[in-house]
């Protein structure tokens, strides 16, 4: 029998009458949680850029307050009204509405629909699953799309932008382990050794990616691209992708705009593939987590991670908004 605490701790974001947002750790009750047929005791969560936006009241992520962010959670089922799982099962939750309008993983318990849950695959611990989290899942989904598009290690260089961030760093590690020659683009020259240890073959600056981006086409270089930045960086990457190459797009750190012409598509036949980890189908979700627990599990995974408690989250939320996080932040709830 798995016990359920009646009270637990959670980071709660509140909006005051002046439309200002405050964050503090509060005691909450299981009865405060939203409806759902499954309760999970959360052992670990992780910090993503979207969590920081929710924690600061960004209306594109969360509109209803008070609210507990955390789009990732890994833990143990303590109550289940569905026959899909049983109390004691170790599980992962990423995506769907968790941490957006549904109270998320920055609380010691969550209550959600059982359809959102993936059983922890053999080969991963709960901590490792959150070292990956949504960032790792998104990186792996990007690599899967390159693979499915026919991009092979022998085709040439793969560009990864925003390479020191959560998605970028794990993409570098997965691609390097899979045998691709990875060129990592970053604005942080001090992190070159970090990226080389992860599996990058070459480090370049953001300026080297975007040089000449105003031109209709650039010199062909990339067999594939994993872009997490958007804006001018993505534009330049598309314009410099080789004939028949593939670009995946999953982020907007630089800009939501894409100042682009059609030439790369109609003259070089390149493909631009959008990556969405939130509503990813269950069969694909299971396959990707299986790969992350197996042949795509980064060899240097633990070196990507900084562990914090709920009390240490405030500093990291500010840091990720300023672009000052390297790798992944795992939140220890228990």
Percent of the chain with pLDDT over 70: 99
pLDDT for residue 299 = 85
- For residue 301, the model assigns a pLDDT of 87
- pLDDT at residue 333, as a whole number: 96
Q: What is the pLDDT of residue 121?
A: 96
Residue range(s) occupied by CATH 3.90.180.10 in the chain: 7-120+300-332
Q: Give yes or no for residue 95 having a pLDDT over 60.
A: yes
Q: Ranked by mean pLDDT, which of 52-56, 184-188, 191-195 comes out on top?
A: 52-56
Whether the CB-CB separation of 63 and 149 falls below 8 Å is answered with no
Tell me which of 54-63, 107-116, 252-261 is least confident: 252-261
pLDDT at 1: 47
Superfamily (CATH) of domain 134-274: NAD(P)-binding Rossmann-like Domain (3.40.50.720)
For residue 19, pLDDT over 70 is answered with yes
pLDDT computed for residue 324 by the predictor: 86
24 or 191, which is more confident = 24
Topology classification of domain 7-120+300-332: Quinone Oxidoreductase; Chain A, domain 1 (3.90.180)
pLDDT at 296: 95
Range list for CATH 3.40.50.720 in the chain: 134-274
pLDDT of residue 119: 96
Check whether 221 has a pLDDT greater than 60: yes
Report whether pLDDT(94) > 50: yes
Query: Average pLDDT for residues 261-289, to the nearest whole number?
Result: 95
Q: What is the pLDDT of residues 20-61, one digit of tens each?
A: 888 999 999 999 999 999 999 999 999 999 999 999 998 889
């Amino acid at each position: 029998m798995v016990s359920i605490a009646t009270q637990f701790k959670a980071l709660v974001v509140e909006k005051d009458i002046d439309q200002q947002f405050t964050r503090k750790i509060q005691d909450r009750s299981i009865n405060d949680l939203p409806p759902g047929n499954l309760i999970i005791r959360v052992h670990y969560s992780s910090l993503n850029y979207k969590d920081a936006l929710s924690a600061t009241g960004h209306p594109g992520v969360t509109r209803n307050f008070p609210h507990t962010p955390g789009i990732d959670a890994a833990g143990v089922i303590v109550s289940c009204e569905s026959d899909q799982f049983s109390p004691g099962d170790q599980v992962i939750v990423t995506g769907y509405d968790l941490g957006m309008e549904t109270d998320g993983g920055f609380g010691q318990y969550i209550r959600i629909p059982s359809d959102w849950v993936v059983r922890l695959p053999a080969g991963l611990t709960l901590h490792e699953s959150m070292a990956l989290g949504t960032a790792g899942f998104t990186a792996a989904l990007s690599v899967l799309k390159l693979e499915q598009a026919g991009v092979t290690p022998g085709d040439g260089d793969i560009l990864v932008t925003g390479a020191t961030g959560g998605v970028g760093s794990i993409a570098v590690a997965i691609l390097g382990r899979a045998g691709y020659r990875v060129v990592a683009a970053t604005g942080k020259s001090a992190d070159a050794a970090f990226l080389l240890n992860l599996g990058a073959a070459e480090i370049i600056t953001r300026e080297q990616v975007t040089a000449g981006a105003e031109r209709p086409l650039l010199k062909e270089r990339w067999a594939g691209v994993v872009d997490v930045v958007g804006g001018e960086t993505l534009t330049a990457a598309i314009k410099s992708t080789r004939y028949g190459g593939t670009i995946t797009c999953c982020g907007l750190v630089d800009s939501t705009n894409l100042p682009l012409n059609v030439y790369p598509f109609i003259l070089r036949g390149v493909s631009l593939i959008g990556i969405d980890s939130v509503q990813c189908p269950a069969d694909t979700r299971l396959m990707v987590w299986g790969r992350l627990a197996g042949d795509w599990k980064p060899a240097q995974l633990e070196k990507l991670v900084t562990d914090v408690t709920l009390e240490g989250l405030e500093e990291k939320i500010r840091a990720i908004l300023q672009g000052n996080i390297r790798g992944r932040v795992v939140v220890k709830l228990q």
